[in-house]
Structure 1
Amino acid sequence: MVLANTRTALTGFMIGFALVLTACDSNEPKEKKTGQALVSVNGKEVTMLQLNEEIKRANIRPEQYEAASKQLLESLIVRQLILDEAVHNKLDRTPDVMQARDRANAQVIAQAYMQGIVSKIAKPTQAEIDEYFQKHPEFFSQRKQFDLITVRVATKDLSSELKKTIDAAKSVDQVVTWLDKNKVPYLRSLASRSSTDLPPQMAKMLQEKSKDTIFIVNEQENSLLISVNAIKDSPITLAAAAPQIERFLLNQKYKEATDAEVTRLRAAAKIEYLNAKAPESSAADKPVVPQAAPNADNATNNLNLTEPTSNGSIERGIMGLK
């Protein structure tokens, strides 16, 4: 059986291979790779160091190590075979590959630099965690759980007649009855979200409006009709929330540090826009910063307690609420 984590690593193999190809140069002298050699492929070694790096990137669990090691070693052999053939066909010298090599090289170096910046940042203190907990009762001690009824319809079916029905309806059931009568396809389901999951504006709106209110969230091709079925108290203690608060505060510190470093670098540099229009000051103040590479030992996850999570349809499109 192919292990899930290993399968994920192998799925990304061809993407990773493109970066490996950009790193090669057929005219440069070949250096002996470091680490114990495991396999020789056409005279080129696949080493234990390479295998350990693949295992690390695939997040292999200890009980999966033996089987995963064999699979990943075979993927390294296949990669070397393809790499040899690509170089033989001079693909490493094509403009696209050479440009990708330059970009990958710059990205890796920039990320390493930013990793050095954030690695010096101290973790939030217990006092900082306590302060955040006390300042945001809506996320913790006064957290609410919203039990929602959702009805998904195609946006093209959201006619003016349907909108009038929604405005006049006292419950989702009345809207569903209209959909059935007019043979409009829909998908009805239940969902639960806490005030921690939702944007503050949306959580406040759901709490203040009556149960009779039906919200419309536009999702481009589909639209979501939302009605609050129940609102329950769902408090969370400081002890339970502390790890999440710590990650959030640490991520905030990372962002502040990287933004400050980019501001410093821009101030010290001489930047001239030659064949490009200079951005507005607000755009220049919000650059895309190369992120430090996340790993299992740090908290660089993009966690934000005040913003919607990325995997929920209800959290998106708050501007489409009506």
Structure 2
Amino acid sequence: MNNFHSITGVASMAWPAQRALCAILLMAGLLLAGCNRNSPDEPARPGQALASVNGEEITVLQLNEEIQRAGVPAMQQERARKQLLQALIDRTLLESEAAKRDLDRDPKVMQAVARARSLIIAQAYMQQRIGEAGRPSQAEVDAYFKAHPQFFASRRQFAMDQLIMPASAVTPALRTTFDRSSSLDDVTQFLDARQIGYGRAQVTRSTADLKPEVAAKLLAMPKGQLFYVQEGPRALLTALTGVRAAPVSLVIAAPQITEYLATRKSRELAQAEIGRLRATADIAYLNKDLAPDAATPGGKPAAVASLAGGPGAPRVAGAGPLATEATASGSGAVTATRAEAGMETRAEMGAETVANESNADKAALERGVAGLR
């Protein structure tokens, strides 16, 4: 900008005052236009338009917000930018068409917008109020690691073979055969002879995935022990095929423990803040039927639920809740355990899979289950 002042200074000395002023304004406009034009190598600035849809601009700021909300990893952002920009264009077109039909003034739409606005503002307040107070210290992370050896240092992994079928297929005769069998092969002979459909899978579970009492029962079982579990409409006839040590170090577990403790602490702080606000507020229930019971005044603040995850143990990467190496066969789904094993009926003992498991195996197993329902 120093060059600009020197040039205009010379111009004002050589020309009459009126012509000099016009020259200054003209040159200022040219310079500002040049400043607003990015060079080919210059990155786009927030707020700069990326596309125009019927005259309405979509900016870098909007696209960056979409990328952030989508949680796109850095390595995938370049590809995601193109896809999300197209999504923004589609949304702009739909919003424009909706406005032409006055849908933005529809009472239900206005109510939904008001609710979304209320939730966003309430969440922003809670985030500001809690801030970094919910982050655990390294000492807290270390203490949690030491206090839960079954999740980490002393973690054990169970390998199981399962027959999966509808619970309705488990007849008294099948239960008797199962209780007397020494292996699942004996059970499959019974099933095949009577043309009872089933699926078969090999799954693994760890002490970090199961309730302590369930893990304790598995640890007390000998190799080859059969046990039965009913999981909703499915029955799981299961054989414990092996137990091995699968420790997780503090270095690997620390990020997940930190996130888990932060979530738990944030929930506690949020509940405390809701309690403080309730204690100082004048809350009157105009419809007495909706008032909370005297035994549970106020109840658990529902607004807190969205601030944190569930109460379960932290999930360690590479040591997920169900590492399944599954092969599905047959046309059904069955799971079984011996009645005398005293196992609880729990979904944790089922043949469920997690997101990082083989999709093909999961799909095959689900098809088999669906076919018998």
Q: 1:251 aligns with which of 246, 258, 263?
A: 263
Q: 1:289 aligns with which of 300, 303, 308?
A: 303
Q: 1:233 aligns with which of 245, 260, 263?
A: 245
Residues 126-183 of structure 1 deviation map (CA, whole Å, 9 limit, x = unaligned): 2222222222222222211111112211122122332333333332222222222221
Contact 1:118–1:292 (8 Å) recurs in 2? no
Residues 238-281 of structure 1 deviation map (CA, whole Å, 9 limit, x = unaligned): 33322222222222211211121122222222333333433344
Contact 1:118–1:258 (8 Å) recurs in 2? yes
1:78-97 maps to which residues of 2 (within 5 A)? 78-97=90-109
Matched, 1:165 2:168: no
Aligned to 1:278: 291
Structure 1 residues 165, 96: closer, same or farther in 2, change over 3 A?
farther
Aligned to 2:164: 152
Structure 1 residues 288, 153: closer, same or farther in 2, change over 3 A?
same
Q: 2:205 aligns with which of 166, 190, 193?
A: 193
Q: Partners in 2 of 1:168 and 1:279 — Cα distance? A: 53
Q: Letter of the aligned partner of 2:98 in structure 1?
A: A
Aligned to 2:346: 318
Contact 2:134–2:269 (8 Å) recurs in 1? no
Structure 1 residues 128, 105: closer, same or farther in 2, change over 3 A?
same
Structure 1 residues 62, 240: closer, same or farther in 2, change over 3 A?
closer
Residues 58-83 of structure 1 deviation map (CA, whole Å, 9 limit, x = unaligned): 33344544443233222212211111
Q: Partners in 1 of 2:172 and 2:99 — Cα distance? A: 61
The number of aligned residues is: 280
Matched, 1:126 2:154: no
Structure 1 residues 304, 98: closer, same or farther in 2, change over 3 A?
same
Deviation for aligned residue 1:95: 2.6
Residues 86-118 of structure 1 deviation map (CA, whole Å, 9 limit, x = unaligned): 111111122321221122111111221222233
Q: Partners in 2 of 1:169 and 1:262 — Cα distance? A: 57
Q: Partners in 2 of 1:140 and 1:68 — Cα distance? A: 36
Contact 2:157–2:207 (8 Å) recurs in 1? yes
Aligned to 1:51: 63
- What is the SS of the residue equivalent to 2:291? coil
Gaps of 5+ in 2: 1-45, 325-334, 336-343, 350-373
- What is the SS of the residue equivalent to 2:303? coil
TM-score after normalising by structure 1: 0.75
Contact 2:267–2:305 (8 Å) recurs in 1? no
Deviation for aligned residue 1:50: 0.7
Q: 1:141 aligns with which of 142, 153, 166?
A: 153
Gaps of 5+ in 1: 1-33, 294-299
- What is the SS of the residue equivalent to 1:121? helix
Q: Partners in 2 of 1:49 and 1:306 — Cα distance? A: 34
Aligned to 1:242: 254
Residues 174-204 of structure 1 deviation map (CA, whole Å, 9 limit, x = unaligned): 2222222221111111111111122222211
Structure 1 residues 200, 175: closer, same or farther in 2, change over 3 A?
same
Q: Partners in 1 of 2:91 and 2:228 — Cα distance? A: 49
Q: 1:224 aligns with which of 229, 232, 236?
A: 236
Deviation for aligned residue 1:319: 7.7
What RMSD in Å do the two structures reach over aligned CA positions? Answer: 3.0
Aligned to 1:23: none
Contact 2:257–2:314 (8 Å) recurs in 1? no
Q: Letter of the aligned partner of 1:196 in structure 2?
A: A
TM-score after normalising by structure 2: 0.66
Q: Letter of the aligned partner of 1:99 in structure 2?
A: Q
Q: 1:35 aligns with which of 47, 53, 56?
A: 47
Contact 2:158–2:244 (8 Å) recurs in 1? yes
